[in-house]
């Protein structure tokens, strides 16, 4: 559920400073992208540790935790790497509880690497791209690198952990 947004004198939503954490909150809106990305990269051991364990956060942590379970059987290692979106602007509105509702860009890269023991054509280790990856490059290769770009919506209350309310990604490149 979205928090109630404060209206300004003109009736429009009141804009918040994206560089300032509301009240005693541990993060400012412009720091949310690194916290959300950290969920995938480290399993929330760094900046992601500051986030409340909402459903979207638990889902990201599960993806991190299970990243190699299925692929390991096929001799493929999956690794998440932090990335920065080209447009890093965050948007924030003041909420009635003294907090902030923020929409921020998020990005990460996924690397799928064939382990040296797995041999494909020509005796070289390779990974075959999925149908989504093949749109960009259909050739089997040692490492497939997928770029993912998205956005996250979070409520930063004036005290306590920021609550990620939703996050959505799309693959924008595969090489």
Check: CB of residue 67 under 8 Å from CB of residue 59: no
pLDDT in tens, 41-56: 999 999 999 999 999 9
Residue 118 has pLDDT above 60, yes or no: no
In angstroms, the CA 94 to CA 78 distance is 39
Residue 124 has pLDDT above 80, yes or no: no
pLDDT in tens, 139-167: 999 999 999 999 999 999 999 999 999 99
Q: Which two tokens stand for residue 154?
A: 């979070």
Residue 57's pLDDT is 99
Residue 120 has pLDDT above 70, yes or no: no
pLDDT in tens, 54-94: 999 999 999 999 998 878 888 999 999 999 999 999 999 99
In angstroms, the CA 13 to CA 49 distance is 30
CATH of 29-174, one of 3.30.300, 3.10.450, 3.30.70, 3.90.550: 3.10.450
What are the residue boundaries of the structural domains of the chain, listed by start? 29-174
**Which parts of 25-142 are beta strand (E)?**
76-82, 91-94, 100-114
């Amino acid at each position: 559920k979205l928090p109630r947004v404060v209206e300004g004198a003109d009736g429009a939503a009141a804009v918040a400073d994206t560089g300032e954490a509301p009240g005693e909150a541990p993060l400012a809106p412009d720091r949310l992208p690194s916290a959300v990305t950290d969920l995938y990269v480290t399993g929330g051991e760094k900046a992601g540790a500051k986030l409340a364990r909402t459903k979207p956060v638990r889902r990201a942590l599960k993806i991190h935790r299970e990243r190699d379970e299925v692929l390991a059987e096929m001799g493929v290692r999956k690794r998440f790497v932090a990335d920065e979106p080209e447009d890093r602007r965050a948007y924030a509105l003041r909420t009635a509880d003294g907090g902030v509702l923020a929409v921020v860009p998020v990005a990460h890269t996924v690397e799928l690497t064939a382990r040296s023991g797995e041999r494909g054509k020509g005796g070289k280790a390779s990974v075959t791209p999925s149908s989504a990856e093949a749109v960009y490059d259909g050739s089997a290769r040692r490492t497939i690198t997928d770029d993912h770009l998205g956005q996250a919506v979070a409520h930063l209350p004036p005290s306590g952990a920021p609550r990620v309310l939703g996050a959505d990604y799309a693959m924008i490149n595969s090489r």
